[in-house]
Amino acid sequence: MVPLQLLRVPFRHLQPRPLGGSRLAVAAGAAAAAACASGAALAAAWAAAAAAGAQGFRVIPVAADGNCLFSSVAQGEAVADGQQPLAATATAARAQALRAAAVEELRTRRAEIEWAVEGDFDQYVARMSRSGTWGGEFELLMLSHHLARPIEVYMHNPELRRIQAYSEELPRAPVRVLFHGVGHYEALAE
């Protein structure tokens, strides 16, 4: 097992993270959904897409359904392997498989990562195993190990820049995702 690479540039503070089922989670999820649907968020998404295009990337949109991190990795994996973007049903199926893989990696690497998880680790893993629970930096790190390839996270603020890279020492083509800062991820392709 490859040892965990500690996060160099944490960005958890940028991402709201619903905690399954609580009123706070419902409110946070509703606020994020409203932000994603707002004109300002839409304008920001268009600006991010334009910046990505200017830097040789294109944005592959994914649904804002709570599974966007996993869907983005699914799409990013396909295009990094030279394939066309996945159809909606294939994206959903691959995202579900990636969620399960991330949860299994969390369990396998518990001794290495439990200290960094806020709250009860078992409850966190149980929540993360449910469809619609937002993924974040732990899941990206776990997926980089599961896929044995780098995962790069980009953000637009005010230009597109890479804010994190997981397992960048691995030789395979990286999966690239765009984090919008309102709890939403999309895939990036060259």
Give domain status of residue 29, yes or no.
no
Q: What's the pTM value of the predicted model, to 2 decimals?
A: 0.76
Q: What is the pLDDT of residues 131-150, one digit of tens each?
A: 999 999 999 999 999 999 99
Taking the alpha carbons at both ends of the chain, their separation in whole angstroms is 30
Task: Please give the share of the chain, as a percent, with pLDDT higher than 70.
Answer: 71
Asked if 184 is an active-site residue, the reply is yes
Residue 24: inside a domain: no
- Any domain includes 19: no
Q: Establish whether 68 is a catalytic residue.
A: yes
What range does the domain containing 170 cover?
44-189
- The total of structural domains in the chain comes to 1
Report if residue 7 sits inside a domain.
Answer: no
Contact 43, 145 (CB under 8 A): no
Q: How much is the pLDDT for 146? A: 98
> Is residue 12 in some structural domain?
no
Amino acid sitting at position 45:
A
98 within a domain of the structure (yes/no): yes
What pLDDT score does 176 carry?
97
- Burial letters 12-23, b for 16+ CB under 10 A, else e: eebbbbbbbeee
CATH number at 178 reads 3.90.70.80
Per the model's pLDDT, the better-predicted residue between 37 and 130 turns out to be 130
Known catalytic membership, residue 36? no
- Spot the catalytic one: 145, 146, 156, 184: 184
If pLDDT is split at 50, 70 and 90, which confidence band does 54 have?
A: low
Res 31: pLDDT: 40
Looking at the domain assignment, is residue 15 inside a domain?
no
Question: Domain for residue 20, yes or no?
Answer: no
Which of 13, 68, 145, 146 is an active site residue? Answer: 68
Catalytic choice (65, 81, 120, 122): 65
Distances (CA, A) of 148 to 101, 143, 170: 12, 8, 7
Residue 44 has pLDDT above 70, yes or no: no
